[in-house]
Structure formats: structure tokens, C-alpha cells
Amino acid sequence: MIMKKLIGIVGSNSKKSTNRQLLKYMKKRYSEIDEIELVEVSGLPIFVKTEDMEIPMQAERMLEKIKKADGVIVATPEYDHSIPAILSSALAWLSYGVHPFLDKPVMITGASFGNLGASRAQAQLRQILDSPEIKARVMPSSEFLLSNSLKAFNNNGFLTDTQQVKWLDSLVADFNEFINISTQLTNTHKDDETNLNDFSGDEGANNKEVIN
């Protein structure tokens, strides 16, 4: 098996984020099949539309990493049944005249302190990634919902629930297969790219007035 290069986006600006902890765990556990590099949305400014469509340097670095990656894992917490403003803003920067997510395989994960495991935030994130401005290729029926995340890891940073570990193993295996399959789905890529360029230059950019 050829090792895949994956980007893990930490969708939180919390210094003690359990979503970051989850991605770090995945980086260690799957190091023999996937090279996972973590990138942070923390530090990005809130999205504001500019006349020259210039994006922050941090977003530039992120989009270059995403472009070169075989796939992306996005880990989101859930705040008031939605994704954090900082993650929403990051995705706005990463689709403002640029298209690193176009047809890029994406897996969604989420950890939350409560019992729902970021389920509603993940549903919202799926809609955003599937939007005309982004057009990522999100793996279907694949949510990893880590509830009660403050108690989910031991002192060494490992998940303690064997059923959760088994489920995550299966999802990561499926994601690697999903990436392989996605490389064959290229017939509409050029048309999608053209449509995205037209959309971003006109209607798409106007739709990004404020994200909060």
C-alpha cells in the first residue's frame, strides 16, 4: 500500500481542543498507512471581503498544503449546534477566489464534551463543503462522533473505548479506499473548475459578505 499524504484541519482555536487531540491520536495510530499533517485555523482573521480578493498568508499556506494532499480530515467541535466561527471563516478564506478543495476527498470527524459528538456541526460542515464555492468530495455516511471527549483519552492520548477505536479504524480504511476511487472520477473536473472560477469571480464572492 502506498502511504497517503493527508492534512488534518483542527477546526478549533482552543489550546486544549479535544479535536486536536483526536487528530494527534489518528496521526500516531495510522502512521504506517497515512502521513497526517495537522494544520491550525487558530490565528486566522475573521473573513472580510476585500476588493483585490487577497487572502491571509496563513490561508495561502493552508491551501498549498491541501492542494498537494491526497485527502483532508476536518475535525470540528460543536458550538450551539453549529461549527465554530473560526472554522467557518477559514473555509471562507479557502474558497475566496481559490479552490483547493475542488474534488478533494474529505473525511469529517468531530469531538464534543456532550453526548451528541458534534453530530449537528458535522451535518452543517458537510453542507458547507458540498457548496458551489467549495465542491469538496466528502466521504458519505462516514461521521465519526466522539462524545464526552474530555473523558475519551487516557494520559498517553489514546482512545480508551475499544468500540470507538474499531469504528475509527474502519472509517480510516474506507477513507483510504475512497481516495483511491476519487482519483478515477475526473470527467467533470475541468468543467467544475471553470464553473468555480466563474462563480468565485461574481456571485460567489458577493455571497461572502460576512461570516460570523
Domains of the chain, earliest start first = 4-207 (3.40.50.360)
According to the model, what pLDDT value does residue 10 have? 98
The answer on pLDDT for 181 being more than 70 is yes
Q: Of the spans 32-41, 74-83, 114-123, 132-141, which averages the highest pLDDT?
A: 32-41
Average pLDDT, the chain: 89
% of the chain surpassing 90 pLDDT: 73
The arithmetic mean of pLDDT across residues 157-183, rounded, is 96
CA 180 to chain centre: 18
% of the chain surpassing 70 pLDDT: 91
Q: In terms of C-beta density within 10 A (0-12 exposed, 13-18 middle, 19 or more buried), how is residue 57 classed?
A: exposed
Lowest mean pLDDT among 52-61, 119-128, 199-208: 199-208
Q: Which residues of 86-121 are buried (b: 16+ CB within 10 A; e: fewer)?
A: bbbbbbbbbbbbbbbbbbbbbbbbbbbbeeebbbbb
According to the model, what pLDDT value does residue 163 have? 95
Q: In whole angstroms, what is the distance from residue 55 CA to residue 53 CA? A: 6
Lowest mean pLDDT among 2-6, 47-51, 154-158: 47-51
The arithmetic mean of pLDDT across residues 79-96, rounded, is 94
The answer to whether 172 and 26 have CB atoms below 8 angstroms apart is yes
Confidence band of 202 (pLDDT split at 50, 70, 90): very low
According to the model, what pLDDT value does residue 191 have? 66
